[in-house]
Structure 1
């Protein structure tokens, strides 16, 4: 508890000031509101401490004997290089990460042009998500077969990038063992097996459908590779959306669980698990504890629950409920909607923080939630949203600073110039998230000049580009 008090009492950090968010709140009300919000306001010193803790966890995750118990898994991806811009040709991509499955044909041309020639979305029926694994992969192969026919590609044997966004232990770029299903999937006879082999077997059963080499990636790697094809200095991929994760290029000599000392390999950090060993307990608020306790996976992915889109709206709702119970908001009256978990959506935060229409949006949302409000209530809700989204951006910056500082130190550079490929609805849709994150990065990684590249359609293009890089590097 001493750490928490030490760092939260620092109130001079430039990251904390937002006078605009305080507008419209009388001083006596503001002083009471700030008591609820103070635990979310992390000083630069505390963010540096968070970064230092993550740095230790990265090393544990990379270790030959320590990675099994590391909360930050640091999974090798067997992607050994980023694009150099010379990749060319036709590639297929499969993207399975939810109820919609996509097939794409991607053409790479000179001057780093990516032409997505065609795509098809196949909806996976609920029964198939919990049925036999063979049935699921047969369905994927059938969709691929129909797509090849519709694109007049039948008869060609093209390399394939496979985005499979479920927890896997990757053994080679074309060999990946499913650890466990998530996102509502529970297909039998797949966990513990090589999903690339299951895909190949299903395609082979079609007899008239053929693919070339396969490169398997997750969405963070896809983001890095998609952006890296256009900007060759991109060596980090980051997702800040429903969930959060990042990958980066690590020196092979530091990846102790894989043989080899030369070159680099992309590491999928799985940083959402940061804090699962209680290393962030001193900065968790009572609202974070409640969100974790009532989630479907208590004690798991603590960092993700503090910063990602799946949880931010619920954190705001819990703060508003407590303020209302203490008669600071809405005349002490909690509506049915406000009292129901999940009813304050994360997209409301983005709408409420719109620079020109935020307060107007807040009033509309509060009305839709069945609340009796006044202008002061709307201003307080705006401040709550700003505080919680700011913490998200600042914690994200602390984690990202860990990666860029590590790359700089690995290469013994006084100054690092690098690009971060970014995707995810929180980064894309929130009006000030990116600026908050970048401002914090300037404080936490002052020796790094970072360009942020927002990815377009990274899951599909990135998988295809990964297959192209693997083909370029093949002996």
Structure 2
């Protein structure tokens, strides 16, 4: 009998080819038991990061944000927001309308930061920011008003108060002198004073993950987690103050910026890292750092797929053993290709075009194998992210002594938003790993802008409530004296 007639195909891939492909992909297929182990390791790291004496050596940094409450829907007022995280920064005016239970972004302005300013004196950078803020206020006819400001500053900082944050190190191509080790809120205030023709009210420092949680929290008051899964990944959540040993307070809750991208930097994920993960790490700009992020985020998923395809091609399993220059070039297989190839209806057609554009001579079976590789890598990303998220919700439930926890996760990031299957797989896996938690998901709308304004609004509400409480206590004391 003809051997070709006996060949069985699964999803268009002959069984013998499928068996070989699976040997490459098996290390990416993590069982529920393995994910539970990953979750248990992260839980240990969370506790270490919160500890008074252990946080200095913790892989997961667990940074206090000094945000002690989420929105309750009564916030209102006019706010400014400043978002600095790259070669452009934005200034926004946000109006919060209590009676309509909604926020309105009134207007915004984008300002470029020239390359020489990114590498020059810090004072010059902050003067540029202050000048652009002044121009925006003038365009909005707000020069005479003193509005509170939410400041999203997306660089690693050690936050000491909601309005005091020390830059640890520059990233993203910035190298401004005189800023590292200094309070960026104070530097901004000094620049505004030098500008001289306007002033701002209170300033609240905001991490972009916290902004995501807070912008969603205004629409859904049960939102107590913020998660970003895009170019990078991170999450924050509301922790019981009694567990935050590095802050001298035991009452209430505080939002903790986990910086979970560093999970595994102490070697705790070595047993599930594949040879391709190790190679991605070695060739990155920061080897040995952000281990978890490199396994799941958009900056690295395309490169993981490319390395798998290169090895399969060299072993003669793809493209008749002939790789193209584009496939052999680091970064040649972009993460967005994964989403395009995994589209349910047009994925194979998209795959044909992408492989052709990469200069590869493909056959139909090659496209199906590439699709299988993409699906496996993105599936692992979703399941690992789910394991980390389940760790947070399980922790919150236990810490609050609840039989069941009902909570909402505010989410942002291109991988979550644009990948056709990522969100569904993440949510399904969280249900398996956190069966006593009812978790809803809400996509953030401009978390870095509206969220920054919301942090400021909540801080002002809490200050107002505290003053009213103090006044009430004073009246009671007077009554007692009489």
TM-score, length-scaled by structure 2: 0.94
Supply the distance in 2 between the matched residues of 1:355 and 1:158 (Cα, whole angstroms).
Answer: 48
Q: CA deviation at 1:142?
A: 0.5
SS of residue in 2 equivalent to 1:212? coil
Select 1:30's aligned residue among 3, 18, 34: 18
Structure 2 distance, partners of 1:218, 1:350, is 28
1:92 aligns with 2:80: yes
Q: Structure 1 residue 150 and structure 2 residue 139: aligned? A: yes
Once residues 299 and 44 of structure 2 are traced to their aligned partners in structure 1, the CA distance between those partners, rounded to angstroms, is 27
The match for 1:345 is 334
Corresponding position of 1:18: none
RMSD of aligned residue pairs (Cα, Å): 0.8
Counterpart for residue 269 of structure 1: 258
Paired residue for 2:34, among 46, 53, 57? 46
Question: Hey, what does 1:336 align to over in structure 2?
Answer: 325
- d(CA) in 1 for partners of 2:10, 2:415: 23
For residue 3 of structure 2, what is the aligned residue in structure 1?
Answer: none
- In the alignment, the residues of structure 1 paired with residue 119 and residue 366 of structure 2 have an alpha-carbon distance, to the nearest angstrom, of 45
Instruction: Name the residue aligned to 1:303.
Output: 292
Give 1:22 deviation, angstroms.
5.5
Task: Show the 5 A alignment for 1:2-151.
Answer: 23-110=11-98, 111-151=100-140
Q: 2:461 aligns with which of 459, 462, 472?
A: 472
Once the two structures are superposed, what CA deviation does each residue of 1:314-367 show, in whole Å capped at 9, x if it has no partner?
000000000000000000001000000001000000000111100000010000
Distance 1:430 1:22 in 2: 24
- Give SS of 2:303's match: helix
1:442 Cα deviation (Å)? 1.0
What's the offset of the Cα at 1:154? Answer: 1.0
**Alignment length, in residue pairs?**
455
Candidates 149, 155, 180, aligned match of 1:166: 155
Distance 2:356 2:45 in 1: 45
Rg larger in structure: 2
Q: What CA distance in whole angstroms lies between the structure 2 residues aligned with 1:112 and 1:465?
A: 13
1:58-457 to 2 correspondence within 5 Å?
Answer: 58-110=46-98, 111-457=100-446
SS of the residue aligned with 1:281?
Answer: coil
SS in 2 for 1:276: coil
2:39 aligned counterpart, secondary structure: helix
Report the secondary structure of 1:338's partner residue: helix
Q: How far apart, CA to CA, are the structure 1 residues paired with 2:388 and 2:116?
A: 39
Output the TM-score relative to the length of structure 1.
0.95
Runs of 4+ in 1 over 2 A off after TM superposition: none
CA distance in 2 between partners of 1:422 and 1:221 (Å):
11
CA drift of 1:112 comes to: 2.2
Deviations 1:141-191, CA, capped at 9 Å, x for gaps: 001000000011111000000000000000000000000000111100000
Secondary structure in 1 matching 2:13: coil
Question: Residues of 1 paired with 2:176 and 2:428: CA distance?
Answer: 44
Structure 2 Cα separation of the partners of residues 370 and 116 of structure 1: 45
SS state of the match for residue 104, structure 1? strand
SS of 2:325 mapped into structure 1: coil
Unaligned runs of 5+ in 2: 1-8, 468-482
